[in-house]
Amino acid sequence: MTKHFARVQFLLILIAAAQPAIGRQGQPEEFVSVLGRFGITMPAPYVDYRPFLELRTTGGQKFSSATYRWKLDSDQVVVSYGTGSINLEGPKQSDTFLAGLKNDYVAKAAHGSLLAEKPTTLNGHPGIIFGLDSDGGRVIVWIYVVKNRFYMLSLSVNEPEKKEAHLKTVSTFRFLSSEELEPRYKELAALLTPPPLTEPPPNKRLTNDLQDFRLNGRVKAVTTEEEKFEGTQLFDDRARTSVDYYDETGNLTKSEQYSGGLPQAVRMYGYVKGDRAYREMRRLPDLILKTNDPKKKDNVTKQPTEIKIFKIKYKYSGNQLLEIQVNREDGEEFEKYVFTPKDNRVEHTVDPAYIMIGLRDTIFAKDKVTSLLDDKGIALEDTVMTPSGRADDVSQAIPGAGYVNIYKQRYDSQKIKYSYEFDQQGNWIKRTATIVTKEKGEVADHLTYRKITYYP
């Protein structure tokens, strides 16, 4: 077979592989990546997953990326995605980026030789499909750009008789919207949901959770997401941070806590011996020992989930809430809110050692946020005090004991201002956070979105 004929034949394969079937609806066995926001139907689980990779293109662009790999008989499929800080779909940017990433891929293939290429799209997003020969065999590659993200799929073609079946498998790849990801969020949160606390409540306290945290109306659930500014740009690249569920009396029944866009802990609220409390199941972060040897994998030690109970104490002055204190099972303070109504302020502290494996018995200075509130209890600005890691050695006279040395923790201070958009109930649903800096003045930092549902 001549090289020219091989190119023509491969171009026909690319044309067939770029048909609209690529965007069709998923199947029951669809694999869903929540962070990657894609789905692909595969006959078996992936055999390799590599998160937290840093990719630099020859064009100088940097991406945070991840890669999944599946085996299809003697072929394999690899799906990678990366998140950057520029709009890859901008005018002329997509063509330049797609061509550059294609050239990078061919250059890194051992004795890679491009056979054919063709522009394509997926759900209106620009892409390119190309094929190449290399020492590793023949490969078909798809690359798409979606705002500040890219997606790259590759299929090795080692078994000609199974080529059509494997192309059909890759053609199930699709982008997923937030609504389409919701069932997967629920599945992941369900895996971390502990048994509920079923003791009957004592006498009703003076306020409920909706009142304590300034929510109006018959709120049923609040889903919170956050998006960072990339310079002055936004890409609708949101990460979920929490989902809170309330009963019809206005009290929390369940709270899902997210980190990095995935569930980290789920809390079930109730009562223990008359105290308001929650039982929490938390996924501890895996321990990763990095290796510099390219022939060896990083040593990843999987950590178990844990279940603990936290008790909540309330302090009032008359009908006014002054303090909410959350204590761990050992009695140590985990979190506290101190309200100062006359100054319209609230101070929030939380123990950072709690989520650090092996350091929970270490005494850390707590992160501290002091919020200035408006008359409706909504934060106008925060002063964030973070331990700097430095301390001052101070001599202090103590009667009967002479002088002793004490260490006063230093804090780094940062001020954040907020502006809001509200729904018809008067609850904020969009908040813009602006950091006050010495060098640049006020700089937009991130947006927080709240989706609020109500009881009829």
Q: Are 277 and 264 in contact, with CB atoms under 8 Å apart? A: no
- All residue ranges of the chain with pLDDT < 70 are 1-28, 286-291, 294-295, 298, 300, 353-366, 387-411
> 3-state class of 250 per DSSP?
coil
Q: Are 152 and 141 in contact, with CB atoms under 8 Å apart? A: yes
Q: Convert 422-439 to b/e letters by CB count within 10 Å (16 or more is b).
A: eeeeebbeebebbbeeee
Residues comprising the chain, all counted: 456
The candidate with the shortest Cα–Cα distance to 168, out of 39, 34, 40, 67, is: 40
Give whole-number Cα distances, 86 to 61, 99, 169, 200, 237, in Å: 9, 16, 31, 53, 12
The candidate with the shortest Cα–Cα distance to 390, out of 406, 413, 368, 407, is: 407
The helix (run of H) or strand (run of E) holding residue 409 is strand 402-422
In the prediction, which pLDDT does 191 show? 94
d(CA 138, CA 150): 23
For 6, residues 6+ apart whose C-beta sits below 8 A from its C-beta are 115
d(CA 437, CA 267): 36
- Cβ count within 10 A of residue 239: 15
Please give the structure tokens belonging to residue 141.
């590659």
In the prediction, which pLDDT does 365 show? 55
Please give the structure tokens belonging to residue 185.
């969020």
The helix (run of H) or strand (run of E) holding residue 256 is strand 252-259
What φ, ψ does residue 227 adopt, rounded to 5°?
Answer: -135, 130
In the prediction, which pLDDT does 355 show? 61
Q: Are 449 and 423 in contact, with CB atoms under 8 Å apart? A: no
d(CA 65, CA 81): 5
Residue range 82-98, pLDDT digits in tens: 999 999 998 789 999 99
d(CA 379, CA 428): 11
d(CA 368, CA 385): 5
Bridge-partner residues for 66, per DSSP?
Answer: 81
- Cβ count within 10 A of residue 304: 6
For 418, residues 6+ apart whose C-beta sits below 8 A from its C-beta are 378, 379, 380, 381, 382, 431, 432, 433, 434
d(CA 312, CA 333): 10
In the prediction, which pLDDT does 66 show? 95
In the prediction, which pLDDT does 303 show? 75
